[in-house]
C-alpha cells in the first residue's frame, strides 16, 4: 500500500477493512474473535479495542498456516467451529460465514469447508477440483496445475471453516517444503485421512486488497451494491453513480438524492427528505420533510428538524435547526440552537470560537436574523426577535425586540458628482 497505515485499516465506505469483517462476523455471535497480527500490530490493537477481539502475535511471517497457528493460545479451551478470514478481504457477508459453518456440520462432517468462487477471469488463482456434492478431490496452485486443471473455473478464496478440535492437529501435519519455505493453510485440505468440502459465493464478496488500486475497486463494488439497496428500499438516486455512502448511512423512504452527494459516517435521513446536488453530510441527523442543499455541508452534530431548510453554501456543525427553520444562503451555524420557524439571513455567522474555547448561540422560535449578521457567542436571541441586517450582536436580545447594531446612515447630496469632477480634473492636469 506504500502507507504508514496498516493495510487492513485502510477504509472502505468510511470504515477500516478489518472492522467491516469483524462486524459481519459479530452477527454470528461468536464466542471468541482472534486477530492475528505481525508488523504494525500496535495500530491493529488500537483499532479493535472495544470490539471484543483479542490479538495473537505472529512474530515472523512464515505463511498463512503459520499465521493461523498463532491463534492456538487464544483458542485454548474452545471447542467449536472456527472461521478463518482475512483482514484484507472485507466484503464477506455474515450469511456466507453462516453457510460455511452450516456446511461444516452437515451429516458427512467434512474436516474443512473452503469458500470458492468463479471469477470472470480465473487468471492465476488456485483451482478447486470437486465432485457434484462439493467434496474436494484436489486443490492445486495455478503454477502446478495441468492444462485440464487450469480450465476449471472454481477458484480458492483461502477462507475456511474448521472445527477447533481438528484445526491445530492438521496444522501440525503440514510442512514448508516449497520455494518460499512457508506453511500454507490450504495444505490441510489435502492431508490424508479425511475429506473437505467447498461452497461457492460470488467473486465480489471475496475480492482482496493488496494495493490502492484494488482498494478503489473494492470501494466501487461496495458503493454499487449499496446504491442498488438504497433504491430498492425506497430512495430515489437521480444519478446513482455519483452518490457515495458510508457504511452506516440510513435513508428513509421517498428520500431524493440529487447528483454528487457524499455521505460520511454517522448520517441518518428520515422520510421525504431532499438532498440537493453537491452536498456533503457527516455525523448528521435530518428529520422528515427537510430540504438540504445544493452545496450544503452538514458536519458532525448537525440536527435538522422537520421541514427545515438548509440552503446553498450553508455549513452547520454541532447545531440544531428547529421545525420549519430556514438558513437558505451562505451562512455558518456552529454550536447553536435555532428555534422552530426561525429565519437565518444570508451571510449570518455564529462566532463560536475565541481561539481557546467554543461558546453556544441560542436563537428562539420565530426569530429573524438579517443578512450579514455576526452573532458573537455566547449569544441569546429571544423568540420572535429581529436582528437587523449587518448587526454585530454581543449582548442578549429580548423576545420580540429589534436589535439594530450599525452606525446611523449619513447622506451628502451631490458629493459623488463633485468628487468625480475633482478627480477627473486632477487626472487631466496630470
Please say if 329 is a catalytic residue.
Answer: yes
Q: Which residues pair with 257 in a beta bridge?
A: 237, 275
Q: 3-class secondary structure for the chain? A: CCCCCCHHHCEECCEEHHHHHHHHHHCCCCCCCEEEECCCHHHHHHHHCCCCCEEEECCCCCCHHHHHHCCCHHHCCCCCEEEECCCCCCCCCHHHHHHHHHHHCCCCCCCEEEEEECCCCCCCCCEEEECCCCEEEEEECHHHCCHHHHCCCCEEEEEEEEEHHHHHHHHCCCCCCCCCCCCCHHHHCCCCCCCCEEEEECHHHHCCCCCHHHHHHHHHHHHHHHHHHHHHCCCEECCHHHCECCCCCEECCCCEECCCCEECCCCEECCCCEECCCCEECCCEECCCCEECCCCEECCCCEECCCCEEEECCEEEEEEECCCCEEEECCEEEEEEECCCCEECCCCEEECECCCCECCEEECCCCEECCCCEEECCEEECCCCEECCCCEECCCECCCCEECCCCCCCCCCCHHHHHHHHHHHHHHCC
Cell of 36: 492475528
- Using a 10 angstrom Cβ sphere, with 0-12 exposed, 13-18 middle and 19 or more buried, the burial of residue 52 is exposed
Q: Rounded distance, CA 224 to CA 291, Å?
A: 25
Report the residue count for the chain.
430
Residue with cell 430498492: 232
Are 279 and 297 contacting, i.e. CB atoms less than 8 angstroms apart? yes
The catalytically annotated residue of 6, 10, 20, 329 is 329
Residues taking part in catalysis: 329
Amino acid at each position: 500500500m506504500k502507507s504508514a497505515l496498516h493495510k487492513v485499516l485502510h477504509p472502505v465506505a468510511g470504515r477500516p477493512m478489518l472492522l467491516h469483517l469483524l462486524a459481519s462476523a459479530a452477527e454470528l455471535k461468536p464466542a471468541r474473535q482472534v486477530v492475528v497480527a505481525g508488523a504494525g500490530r500496535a495500530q491493529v490493537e488500537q483499532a479493535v479495542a472495544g470490539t471484543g477481539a483479542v490479538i495473537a502475535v505472529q512474530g515472523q511471517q512464515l505463511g498463512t498456516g503459520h499465521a493461523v497457528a498463532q491463534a492456538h493460545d487464544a483458542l485454548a479451551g474452545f471447542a467449536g467451529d472456527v472461521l478463518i478470514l482475512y483482514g484484507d478481504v472485507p466484503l464477506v457477508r455474515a450469511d456466507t460465514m453462516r453457510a460455511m459453518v452450516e456446511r461444516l456440520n452437515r451429516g458427512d462432517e467434512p474436516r474443512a469447508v473452503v469458500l470458492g468462487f468463479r471469477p470472470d477471469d480465473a487468471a492465476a488463482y488456485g483451482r478447486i477440483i470437486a465432485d457434484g456434492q462439493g467434496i474436494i478431490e484436489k486443490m492445486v496452485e495455478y503454477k502446478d496445475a495441468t492444462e485440464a486443471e487450469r480450465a476449471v473455473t472454481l477458484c480458492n478464496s483461502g477462507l475456511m471453516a474448521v472445527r477447533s478440535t481438528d484445526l491445530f492437529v492438521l496444522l501440525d501435519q503440514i510442512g514448508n517444503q516449497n520455494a518460499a519455505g512457508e506453511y500454507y493453510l490450504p495444505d490441510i485440505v489435502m492431508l490424508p485421512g479425511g475429506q473437505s468440502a467447498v461452497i461457492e459465493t460470488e467473486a465480489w464478496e471475496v475480492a482482496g486488497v493488496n494495493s490502492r488500486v484494488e482498494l478503489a475497486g473494492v470501494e466501487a463494488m461496495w458503493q454499487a451494491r449499496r446504491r442498488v439497496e438504497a433504491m430498492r428500499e425506497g430512495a430515489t438516486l437521480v444519478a446513482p453513480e455519483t452518490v457515495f455512502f458510508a457504511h452506516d448511512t440510513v435513508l428513509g423512504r421517498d428520500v431524493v438524492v440529487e447528483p454528487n452527494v457524499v455521505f460520511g459516517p454517522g448520517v441518518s435521513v428520515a422520510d421525504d427528505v431532499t438532498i440537493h446536488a453537491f452536498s456533503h453530510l457527516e455525523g448528521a441527523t435530518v428529520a422528515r420533510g427537510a430540504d438540504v442543499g445544493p452545496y450544503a455541508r452538514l458536519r458532525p452534530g448537525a440536527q435538522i428538524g422537520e421541514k427545515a431548510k438548509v440552503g446553498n453554501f450553508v455549513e452547520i456543525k454541532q447545531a440544531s435547526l428547529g421545525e420549519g427553520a430556514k438558513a437558505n444562503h451562505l451562512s455558518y451555524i456552529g454550536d447553536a440552537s435555532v428555534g422552530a420557524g426561525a429565519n437565518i439571513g444570508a451571510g449570518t455567522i455564529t462566532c463560536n470560537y475565541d481561539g481557546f474555547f467554543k461558546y453556544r448561540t441560542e436563537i428562539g422560535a420565530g426569530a429573524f436574523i438579517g443578512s450579514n449578521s455576526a452573532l458573537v457567542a455566547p449569544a441569546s436571541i429571544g423568540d420572535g426577535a429581529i436582528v437587523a441586517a449587518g448587526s454585530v450582536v454581543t449582548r442578549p436580545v429580548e423576545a420580540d425586540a429589534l436589535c439594530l447594531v450599525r452606525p446611523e446612515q449619513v447622506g451628502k447630496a451631490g458629493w459623488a458628482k463633485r468628487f468625480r469632477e475633482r478627480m477627473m480634473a486632477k487626472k487631466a492636469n496630470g
